[in-house]
Structure 1
Amino acid sequence: MFLLPLVLVGSIETTRVWEVPDLKVGPVPGDRLEPFQAGFTKYANVFGVHVFATDRVPDEKVRHVAAVMAEYLDNDEDGTPDNPLVASALADRDAYMVMSFDERGIERIDPDVWFREGFDAGQFQFALETAPGNGAFDATLEEVLHLITAHGWANAYPAIWGERRGTEVATCLDRARGGHFVDVPRRYPENAWFTYDDDTCEYRCMVTEYVYWAVTSLLGGQSSPERCEDIEHEWRPCSPEAVKKQDPWIVELIQRPEFNFPTRLPDGHYAPATADPKKPTGTVTPR
């Protein structure tokens, strides 16, 4: 475990203990996490972010989600979060993934049980879409990143990554959609390159989806010819080269050094080394 000093709002200096994720799957803990015991039997923890799963979800699927989470947050795999402020934003909100075998499994669980206790920073995922194999796309890359950006970066840097109109990322989103739309338009402008048309996805959701496409495309996760064809109805610049050319504004934002976004696409194989004593301690300044 490593102590990382953090400079928080109001210049109050505190410390947080970061425990190197071991990706072990065990029972759901009690105490404050007891509300999850009614629906879930399996549990893993990554830098304070929880992964809950039902009994039908194989352990290897739970470990895979935890590994991808760890890779996104600790992309250099030195055992500590690359951006402690983002990791703290997630841990402070008890951010969590909940997994069931399929959609029917999650429908049998009442989320109000944990919502009533203040656990509202979560993301669903199904075992069937987790590392499915046979060339199928691994939804873990999407669902885990949704959780991290919506509850991590958005809260750590609200003026820049906040999911509301007027932030820097929202300005990029509006440009990519060909204008500012509170609701999904009947038809997107011809010059738009992000054209998600799910009516249930409100503006905040659109920011989350847009950041996912931009980050994973920049990391090469969407660039196969088959994948590009599959997603072109929603997202045009599927390769690193294409997104750099089409949307240099979001690329510049993602690549600002202070944000420490991942530079390698997770592959589900997290193998942390001992923390480098020469690496900066993780002192950060909130924005």
Structure 2
Amino acid sequence: MKALTLNGYDGLASLALADVPGPEPRPRDVLIEVHAASVNPVDGKISQGYARSRMELAFPHVLGRDGSGVVAEVGGEVTAFKPGDEVYGVADQTRWGTHAQFVAVDAAHVARKPQNLDHIAAGSLAVAALSAFAGIVTTGQAAAGQKVLVHAGAGGVGSLAIQMAKHLGAFVAATAGPSNLEFVRDLGADVVIDYTTTDFAAAIKDYDLVFDLMGGDVRYRSFPVLKSGGVISHISVPPMTQAAPRSDVTVKPAPVSYETRYLDQISAWVESGAVQVVVGAVFPFADAIKAYEHVMTGHARGKAVLDMVGKT
């Protein structure tokens, strides 16, 4: 099969399209013919050696956490899916991923594709939506009547987090760059803050939750935004270098679960129209490295997606 292989930790220079053997499904796996796959910021980071301390990869390796496609084969213990099912889901980071024509994924991390989405949209969804769900729902516990600030509101995770918080009845503020202000407003944000011209910490106050997708100094400057007892939830971002300026605010990492039940919840929200999928850019598989370049700028709007078959 064709795959985008990682052959070292030198960033883009370590990536190459190659012919490699297809994966063999384990008893609890589904083998998926990939029609579309996300390129997430973490893919670029891994190509530069991110997470080597906890996950040393064997080369060649195939990156790609999530995607959408059609079940080609199921393992002997799988009963929830059958060949021909249209599905989306999340691959194990330690195994070969979705930036290939086929991927073997644990069936516990797969769900049926939302009926109102094509594969391009569904392929963009799983990791970003489940990350937003972790920060806003399971860890942030956003609720009706609360005030929520989402940093990086135009990105793949932030754009979904805004919509989820609004669906739950929260009042939502979001930060974004000048070219994305109207886009973020259209997602439903009640207050949109241009981080290049406005100090968000001075613009809003008495918030219940900050969903931090930036880390570092942005997190430090988020403390004044919160009321006493407020929460900062965060996902895989750089820590603060300063001591926390307040003891009455809780900082919580937001572990992301990839279970089918959470994917099914995301699907229900998408099918009801409560959450709209935002695909920022689509690249043919032959241009996969250009997709990485796009995502690694750090300023991509929505999600970048690889069209693996050219007809999805």
Give yes or no for TM over 0.5. Answer: no
Structure 1 or 2: more strand by fraction: 2
Structure 1 or 2: more helix by fraction: 1
TM-score by length of 2: 0.33
TM-score by length of 1: 0.35
